[in-house]
Structure 1
């Protein structure tokens, strides 16, 4: 068997609260294999999104180890984590996190440029065409619907052809029709690029489309 894409061992996350430390994650351990699609499920407040952020190096674990693609993320500082994510990880959020002063094309091209891709704008345009927005390249986020903005966010995440896709409730701000279309697109992009996908969801119908679910409760694997 090949090495896991993610190896989590006794992962802990404590954050400072007004009344003292708050334990968000409490000893989480599991592996994710190459090409696997994992649903992180559980009630609100169970730690799903925090776990995804730790796996993406956007939040630093306060205990245990998180290994991604053979690299120990818990040993890296913020700059090293940002360099590691470039080209390796695509992240899609519930709120789209597009830069409002940039066009769709510029939003998708920016991470490619940061990764040193020489034809960043050509690749960005191709990614937008893949998500059905070839006709919207010059539009700003404020000129697009929520569904279109999430498509731009998907194109931005997938344009570098990352080995890992992380999605945090990517349909949470969309109606059911747009949400279903975005999830179909996300799974299509996963197949197209052969990526390992980890997603946070409350939707049981979406969870059953994944290879397996990791259910959380009170910061632990249930």
Structure 2
């Protein structure tokens, strides 16, 4: 059996609040296999988005160990974490996080250029075509609908063919029709590239499309 792509051992996250320390995650131990799709569910404030951020190295665990693709994320500084994410992960957020002064094509191509891809714009064009937005490549985010903006964000996340896809409520800002279309697209891209998918959602129907569903409550695995 191959090594897990994610391995968390007694991972915890404590943040300082106005009233003192707040325990966000409490002793999470979890493994995710390569190519697996995992849905993280739970009530608001249960820690599911924080767990995703810890798995992506966007938030440093304050206790325990977090390994991704054999790399100890808790031992890396911010620069090393940024490089690891750039080379191994694609991340999709509820808020699209597109750069408003760049076209759809430039939004997808810029991270590829920063990663040293000589054919960044060709890869970006292909990625936009895959999500059905080839004709909108020259449009700015303000000229795109919410569903189209999320498609651009998906193209940006998947263009480098990452081994890991992390999605935090990717349909949270969309109506049901656009939300369903984005989820179909996300799973299609996951299948096409063979990536491992970890998905945070409030929608049980979306979670049930994953290979495994993990529920959190009060910062613990339920």
Would you call these one fold, judging by a TM-score over 0.5? yes
- In the alignment, does 2:169 pair up with 1:176? no
SS state at 1:185 partner: helix
**In structure 1, distance between residues paired with 2:95 and 2:130:** 21
Partner of 1:219: 219
The question of whether the paired residues in 2 share the 8 Å contact of 1:87 and 1:161 is answered with no
Name stretches of at least 5 consecutive residues in structure 1 with no aligned partner.
Answer: none
Alignment of 1:40-119 (within 5 A): 40-119=40-119
Give SS of 2:189's match: helix
Q: Which moved more, 1:78-87 or 1:124-133?
A: 78-87
- Mapped to 2, the partners of 1:65 and 1:101 lie a distance apart of 39
Question: Counterparts of 1:212 and 1:83 in 2: how far apart (Å)?
Answer: 29
Query: 1:195: which partner in 2?
Result: 195
Residues 128, 152 of structure 1: 8 Å contact kept: yes
Are 1:164 and 2:164 counterparts? yes
CA distance in structure 2 between the partners assigned to 1:87 and 1:140 by the alignment: 26
Partner of 2:28: 28
What is the number of equivalent residue pairs in this alignment? 222
- Does residue 124 of structure 1 match 2:155? no
| 8 A contact 1:54–1:61 mirrored in 2 | yes
TM-score, normalization by structure 1: 0.99
CA-CA distance at 1:6 after TM superposition? 0.1
Q: Give TM-score scaled by structure 2 length.
A: 0.99
CA distance in structure 1 between the aligned counterparts of 2:56 and 2:11, rounded to whole angstroms: 13
SS of residue matched to 1:87: helix
Post-superposition offset of 1:56: 0.5
Say which SS state the counterpart of residue 213 (structure 2) adopts: strand
Identify the range of structure 1 (147-156 vs 111-120) with the bigger mean alpha-carbon deviation: 111-120
Q: Which ranges in structure 2 are unaligned for 5 or more consecutive residues?
A: none
User: 1:149-185: CA deviations, max 9, x gaps?
Assistant: 0000000000000000000000000000000000000
Q: Write the distance in 1 (CA, Å) between the matches of 2:221 and 2:84.
A: 27
How far apart, in 1, do the equivalents of 2:151 and 2:77 lie? Answer: 31
- Deviation for aligned residue 1:87: 2.6
Per-residue displacement from partner, 1:62-117 (whole Å, max 9, x unpaired)? Answer: 00011000100000010000011113100000000001111100100111111111
Give the secondary structure class of the aligned counterpart of 2:87. coil
C-alpha deviation, 1:15, in angstroms: 0.6
CA drift of 1:207 comes to 1.0
Contact 1:41 1:214 in 2 (8 A): yes
